Chain A
Amino acid sequence: MATKSIVAPQFPASTAVETVPLSAMHAGEQGVVVRLSGGRCMLSRMASLGFTPGAEICIVQNFGRGPLIARVRDARIALGRGEADKIYVKR
């Protein structure tokens, strides 16, 4: 129930699509945010920086360890790996 309402309307939750954390995506890959997890404060900060369900994302840099860079809503955002683990993306 609860998860349903935070899923972007144009991309209904489906078990058929592959959902991965942002941290697992490679540089140059694109996707759409499906779900965010984390505390209220964290969610609020992510949302104000452009991460909400339905947002298109492109990974700019990800070396597999350390922080990474994602492009979302035309802005480049640097995220710690812990933060990137909490953003789920449909490729």
Chain B
Amino acid sequence: MTTPPLSSANVGADSQSITAAPPVLVALAGQPNVGKTTVFNLLTGMNQHVGNWPGKTVERKEGTFTHHDTVYRLVDLPGTYSLTANSAEEVVAREFIIREQPDVVVAVVDAATLERSLYLVAELLPLPAPVIVALNMIDVAKQEGVSIEPDVLAAALGVPVVPMVATRNIGIRTMLDTIEYLVGGDAVYTPKIPQIRADHQEVLEAIEKIIDHCVPDPYPQEWVALKLLEGDEEVTKMMRACLNAPQWDAVYDILRAHDDALVAVASGRYEWIGRMIRAAVTRPRAGQIGLTERIDRWAAHPFWGLLILAGILGLTFWLTYAIGTPFQEALDAYVVSGLARLATAALSGAPLWLQGLVVDGAIGGVGAVLTFLPILVIFFAVMGVLEDMGYMARAAYVMDGFMHVMGLHGKSFLPLFIGFGCNVPAVLGTRVIESRRARLLTILLTPLIPCTARLAVLAFLAPAFFGRAAMVVSWGLILLALAVLALSGALINKVFFRGDRAAFIMELPLYHVPNWRTIGLLVWQRSISFVKKAGTLILVVSIIIWVLSTLPGGDIESSYLAAIGQFLEPVGRLAGLDWRLIVALLTSFIAKENTIASLGVIFGAGTGSGLLETLAETFSPATGLSFLVVQMLFVPCVATVAVIKQETDSWRWTLFNLGFLLLISWSAGVAVYWLARLFGL
């Protein structure tokens, strides 16, 4: 093990004068659910930046903090159970440590599941950066009857161990002092690095001998040998390129003869952990049942669990409508209309087109972004609370069976369900899904969940065509959307992911009281990120659609948009749609509610009951049904498209999704139209 370069920033009081000195680099590592985020937020507060790791859709959080006049740069590594290349997160975490060689790695472990938590530490110790173990949640461990002696553990591991309760700010200062001590010149750091189980020692040495001097910098040779033995895909690929043919063949022969070595390496780590904690941990009496398992008898029960989930979801939507909708209306009435009035007054002397562009185009777009916010904040907060409390995993557990049909697993349920409120937080909410494939599939399916706005259009228009049967037709259309979702899921899964199902294995964390600071920061970051990224796109598209619907003559009936609608009419005719209905669909791209407003403008009938009568006189029920079907399955609003692009980080998948939705909405429209005609509607 090499000692990492020590940062020159750490020279005590005069560090402020050395402005050019790079800050001390600290990486924060830890398994999921160990309170790593709490530690990160506690240290950096608002001094943090959220982005993505280059080329990956893995969230990267970075921040700075100051301790004794030294500036520290803190990088939050993704939460992972191990450092084997099973997922993008694991690769990101270990590549960062190996390539950037942070001055210190703080490994947060959960005292209540110490044995399992230390598995990551066993993987971190062989890497070229000194480790501090932050023994978090000692209060929870105590409640569970586990008592741990940190000093004994530190002596056994050979690395500093800092007991802490991050949620109550206990132990953080000691941790900072320990970081300072470790980056200071005279720290003694002698970790007891875990050894492979004795029966595989010789094999490891044999591999090391072959790859000697062939391992590319800065990878530690012994670590590479171990990862080869574990069958790590990335390391195997790397070494295959670095070794010559006879060397690779020799390595390959050894690996093939020991394809069970993965389990030996993992057991070796747990045996090492066992030795580390035997002296330091006093276990509770066997058979003691904690609060978490008592709650889970209900919350994870196949029947009661579903009822509880239904109750929580009901409450979420009640909250949305009780708090979010009035806020939304108030924003629209006071802020957006106020802005529009101000702009109109300010531009009173300006040409009409400029007034229109600013008031209807730009402010309309800003309004769309603004009025989204109350709903978003509520959904982000609810998702955050459920995740932080530990309930999210239970919701996934009880819904797993249903989701399997679509090639998804339980974790996709909650984001999809949130989609009934609004597709935007649903897409953003897919971040809870670890499997990249399952996450992508969930994102692609989200637009098929009818959101509040689509449902409002459905509820408004259905009576025009179906009178008393409107209720039945509406429910039928919602079921149709869900059936299309299930079928599309199964289809996309089969075609693009060759039908392999994500393995369902996940931790059910201990329940705990939500941490408001963590949730507050999460809501803040997500909302800001939405306004910044999606906001721009929404604004641009709003202006484009406004221009298309206004030029050249100033009214929508003779606009370019109408011309586009007329151009598309031959295609629409197959589904019974004329250019006016097509234009209404196109304007729904800004916001789904626009469908009604556009129809009102085109038919010069406002958006009241007059419009309903006009529509009923103009179109046959078959056309009406087809229009509603297309409306339900059509491409989502631009805000949703913006977050789909942001979360998939791929224009290809985003465009595929739009194309796919256009195709199925139109096909379903055609099918429904001709079926309805057949039945004489």
**Residues of A participating in the B interface, judged by any CB pair closer than 8 Å:** 2-3, 5-6, 8, 36, 40-50, 52-55, 60-61, 63, 66-67, 69, 71-80, 82-83
Which of B260, B302, B505 is in CB contact (< 8 Å) with A78?
A: B505
CB of B93 closer than 8 Å to a CB of A: no
Q: Fill in one digit per residue for B80-114: 1 if any A CB lies within 8 Å of its CB, else 0.
A: 01101010000000000000000000000000111
A76 lies within 8 A of B292 (CB): yes
- In whole angstroms, how far apart are the Cα atoms of A3 and B409 in the complex? 31
- In whole angstroms, how far apart are the Cα atoms of A36 and B263 in the complex? 8
Given contacts A60-B293, A80-B505, contact A74 B81 (CB under 8 A): no
A67 lies within 8 A of B504 (CB): yes
Which of B144, B267, B506, B509 is in CB contact (< 8 Å) with A52?
A: B267
Given contacts A80-B504, A80-B505, contact A43 B262 (CB under 8 A): yes
Q: Fill in one digit per residue for B381-401: 1 if any A CB lies within 8 Å of its CB, else 0.
A: 000000000000100110011
B397 lies within 8 A of A69 (CB): yes
CB of B266 closer than 8 Å to a CB of A: yes
B262 lies within 8 A of A74 (CB): no
Given contacts A45-B86, A48-B119, contact A83 B504 (CB under 8 A): yes
B400 lies within 8 A of A69 (CB): no
CB of B230 closer than 8 Å to a CB of A: yes
Interface residues in B401-450 (C-beta closer than 8 Å to A):
401, 409-410
Given contacts A2-B260, A46-B505, A66-B302, contact A76 B267 (CB under 8 A): no
Which of A44, A66, A80 is in CB contact (< 8 Å) with B82?
A: A44
Contacts of B507 in A (CB 8 A): 49, 75-78
Which of A6, A42, A55, A78 is in CB contact (< 8 Å) with B397?
A: A78
- Distance in angstroms from A82 CB to nearest chain B CB is 8
CB of B300 closer than 8 Å to a CB of A: yes
- In whole angstroms, how far apart are the Cα atoms of A78 and B264 in the complex? 24
A79 lies within 8 A of B115 (CB): no
Contacts of B116 in A (CB 8 A): 49-50, 72-75
B260 lies within 8 A of A42 (CB): no
Contacts of A72 in B (CB 8 A): 116
Contacts of A54 in B (CB 8 A): 267, 270-271
- In whole angstroms, how far apart are the Cα atoms of A41 and B393 in the complex? 22
Which of A40, A50, A74, A76 is in CB contact (< 8 Å) with B508?
A: A76
- In whole angstroms, how far apart are the Cα atoms of A47 and B400 in the complex? 22
- In whole angstroms, how far apart are the Cα atoms of A52 and B302 in the complex? 28
CB of B503 closer than 8 Å to a CB of A: yes
Interface of A: prevailing SS: mixed
Q: Fill in one digit per residue for B498-541: 1 if any A CB lies within 8 Å of its CB, else 0.
A: 00000111111100000000000000000000000000000000
Interface residues in B190-232 (C-beta closer than 8 Å to A):
199-200, 230-231
Given contacts A46-B505, A83-B504, contact A69 B300 (CB under 8 A): yes
- Distance in angstroms from B23 CB to nearest chain A CB is 32
- Distance in angstroms from A84 CB to nearest chain B CB is 9
**Residues of B participating in the A interface, judged by any CB pair closer than 8 Å:** 81-82, 84, 86, 112-116, 119, 144, 146, 199-200, 230-231, 258-260, 262-264, 266-267, 270-271, 292-293, 296-297, 300-302, 393, 396-397, 400-401, 409-410, 503-509
B302 lies within 8 A of A63 (CB): yes
Contacts of A71 in B (CB 8 A): 293
B302 lies within 8 A of A45 (CB): no
- Distance in angstroms from A25 CB to nearest chain B CB is 16
Contacts of A6 in B (CB 8 A): 260, 263-264
A44 lies within 8 A of B262 (CB): yes
- In whole angstroms, how far apart are the Cα atoms of A88 and B260 in the complex? 16
Given contacts A63-B302, A66-B401, A69-B296, contact A78 B270 (CB under 8 A): no
- In whole angstroms, how far apart are the Cα atoms of A45 and B230 in the complex? 12
- In whole angstroms, how far apart are the Cα atoms of A53 and B313 in the complex? 40
Given contacts A75-B113, A76-B292, contact A49 B231 (CB under 8 A): no
- In whole angstroms, how far apart are the Cα atoms of A89 and B340 in the complex? 69
A79 lies within 8 A of B505 (CB): yes
Contacts of B119 in A (CB 8 A): 48, 50
- In whole angstroms, how far apart are the Cα atoms of A66 and B300 in the complex? 12
* A to B contact number (C-beta, < 8 Å): 128
Contacts of A66 in B (CB 8 A): 302, 400-401
Contacts of B506 in A (CB 8 A): 77-78
- In whole angstroms, how far apart are the Cα atoms of A8 and B264 in the complex? 9
A74 lies within 8 A of B84 (CB): no
Contacts of A82 in B (CB 8 A): 503-504
B400 lies within 8 A of A67 (CB): yes
Q: Could you say which of A2, A40, A55 has the most chain B C-beta atoms within 10 Å of its C-beta?
A: A40
Contacts of B271 in A (CB 8 A): 54
- In whole angstroms, how far apart are the Cα atoms of A52 and B262 in the complex? 10
Chain A residue at minimum C-beta to C-beta distance from B84: A44
B296 lies within 8 A of A60 (CB): yes
A8 lies within 8 A of B504 (CB): no
Chain B residue at minimum C-beta to C-beta distance from A38: B503
Given contacts A48-B266, A54-B267, contact A5 B508 (CB under 8 A): no
- In whole angstroms, how far apart are the Cα atoms of A41 and B503 in the complex? 10
Chain B residue at minimum C-beta to C-beta distance from A44: B84
The 8 A-B residue pairs with the shortest CB-CB distance, nearest first, are A80-B504, A47-B266, A48-B82, A48-B81, A73-B115, A76-B508, A73-B116, A75-B113
A43 lies within 8 A of B263 (CB): yes
Q: Could you say which of B112, B263, B270, B292 has the most chain A C-beta atoms within 10 Å of its C-beta?
A: B263
A52 lies within 8 A of B84 (CB): no
- In whole angstroms, how far apart are the Cα atoms of A48 and B504 in the complex? 14
A49 lies within 8 A of B505 (CB): yes
Chain A residue at minimum C-beta to C-beta distance from B508: A76
Q: Could you say which of B200, B267, B401 has the most chain A C-beta atoms within 10 Å of its C-beta?
A: B267
- In whole angstroms, how far apart are the Cα atoms of A76 and B400 in the complex? 17
Given contacts A53-B263, A76-B293, contact A48 B84 (CB under 8 A): yes
- Distance in angstroms from B41 CB to nearest chain A CB is 24
- Distance in angstroms from A21 CB to nearest chain B CB is 15
B112 lies within 8 A of A74 (CB): yes
Which of B199, B231, B296, B301 is in CB contact (< 8 Å) with A40?
A: B231
Given contacts A49-B81, A66-B400, contact A44 B504 (CB under 8 A): no
Contacts of B401 in A (CB 8 A): 66-67
Contacts of A43 in B (CB 8 A): 262-263
Chain B residue at minimum C-beta to C-beta distance from A27: B297
- Distance in angstroms from A44 CB to nearest chain B CB is 5
Chain B residue at minimum C-beta to C-beta distance from A8: B267
